[in-house]
Amino acid sequence: MLTCKDFLRELSDYLDESLGVEARTQLEQHIAACPNCWVIADTTKKTIRVYKGMDPYPIPPDVEARLMQALERKMAAKQPK
């Protein structure tokens, strides 16, 4: 029988779906019987989901312009003769 500690140790692999069938089944049985671990698994899964859904950070136009200028200078210096 898995303990809650065992469950917690495997949580990341479980959420990443990188466990074998047997280990996965054991964890699923544990979650079904343990409301606390069910909540931990569910809220950790949602934590990952909200971060994945985060808006991208657009690069401000002046920062982009500086980057391009610096690159152009570098590229010009490296052009083949």
Partner 1 sequence: MTVSGLAGSDETTLVAQARQSDATAFSELVRRYENKIFRLALHITQNREDAEDVLQETFLKAYEHLDQFQGNSKFYTWIVRIGVNQALMKLRRRKTDKTVSMDEQFDTGEDTLVREIAAWDEDPEERFSRDELGRILDAAIQGLEPLYRSVFVLRDIEDLSTEETAQALDLSIPAVKSRLLRARLQLREKLTRHFKRKGDNAFAYL
The least distance separating partner 1 from the CB of residue 25, rounded to whole angstroms, comes to: 21
Pattern 23-52, binding to partner 1, x per CB under 8 A? -------------x--xx-xxx-xxx-xxx
Task: Judge contact between 37 and 30, C-beta under 8 A.
Answer: yes
The least distance separating partner 1 from the CB of residue 2, rounded to whole angstroms, comes to: 13
Q: Which is nearer to partner 1, 28 or 70 (CB)?
A: 70
